[in-house]
Amino acid sequence: MTELLLYTLSGVFLALLMGVARGSMRRWVVGAGLALLVVFVAFPFSRARGFLSRDTIDPTLLGLTPVYPLLLLIPLGVLMALTLARRGTAAGWGGVLGGAGAVLVAGSWYVQPAQLVRMQPINGLMELLVALGVAASVALLSFSRPKQRVPILLAAVLAGALAFYWFHAPQGGGAYLPKILGYYKLFSPTAPESQTAMVEAYNQALPELNAIRKELGQEELKPIQSLADLQGAIPQQASSEGYRLVQPATTQYGAFGLFFLAGIMLGAGLVLLRNPALHEPDDWRAGILIALVAGCLIPAFDATEFDLNKLVVGWPFLQQFADKAWPPLLADASTERYPLQEVLSQIAVTVQMALVGTFLAAVFAMPISFLAARNVTSGTPLMRSVFYVTRLFLNVLRGVPTLIIALILVAAVGLGPFAGVMAIAIHSLTELGKLYSEAIENADKGPVEALESTGAAGVNVVRWAILPQVLPLFVSYTIYNFEINFRSSLVLGLVGAGGIGYFINEKMASGQYDQMIVGVIAIVVVVNIIDFASSWLRSRLV
In 3D space, the residue among 266, 276, 275 whose CA is nearest the CA of residue 88 turns out to be: 276
What are residue 245's DSSP bridge partners? 49, 116
Work out the number of other CB atoms within 10 angstroms of the CB of residue 13.
13
542 residues of the chain, pLDDT tens digit each: 677 788 888 888 888 888 777 778 888 888 888 999 988 988 888 888 877 777 788 888 888 899 889 999 999 998 988 888 887 667 888 888 888 998 999 888 888 887 778 888 887 777 788 888 888 888 887 776 777 778 888 888 888 888 888 877 767 666 777 777 777 888 888 877 777 777 777 777 777 777 877 777 777 777 777 666 665 567 777 777 777 888 888 878 888 889 999 998 888 888 888 888 777 788 888 888 888 888 888 888 777 777 767 777 767 776 766 766 677 666 666 666 667 777 777 778 777 888 888 888 888 888 787 777 776 676 667 767 777 788 777 777 777 777 777 778 777 777 777 877 888 888 888 888 877 877 777 766 666 555 555 555 555 566 565 666 677 777 777 877 787 777 777 777 766 666 677 777 777 767 777 777 777 777 777 777 777 776 776 666 65
Separation CA 223–CA 66 (nearest Å): 30
Q: Are 542 and 473 in contact (CB under 8 A)?
A: yes
Q: Are 65 and 71 in contact (CB under 8 A)?
A: yes
The pLDDT tens digits for 73-97 are 999 998 988 888 887 667 888 888 8
The pLDDT tens digits for 383-415 are 677 777 887 777 777 777 777 777 787 777 777
Alpha helices per DSSP H over 145-191: 149-168, 173-176
In 3D space, the residue among 9, 195, 177 whose CA is nearest the CA of residue 114 turns out to be: 195
Separation CA 164–CA 173 (nearest Å): 9
Separation CA 230–CA 228 (nearest Å): 5
Model pTM greater than 0.85? no
* pLDDT (0 to 100) of residue 56: 81
Separation CA 372–CA 377 (nearest Å): 8
Separation CA 123–CA 284 (nearest Å): 34
The pLDDT tens digits for 431-463 are 888 778 777 777 666 665 555 555 555 555 665
Q: Amino acid identity of 430?
A: T
Does 1.10.3720.10 match the CATH number of domain 339-540?
Answer: yes
Q: What is the DSSP string of 448-463?
A: HHHHHHTT--HHHHII
List every span in the chain annotated with CATH 1.10.3720.10.
Answer: 339-540
In degrees, to the nearest 5, what angle opens at C-alpha 157 toward C-alphas 151 and 123?
A: 175
Three-class secondary structure of residue 408 per DSSP: helix
Q: Are 322 and 387 in contact (CB under 8 A)?
A: no
- Total count of residues recorded for the chain: 542
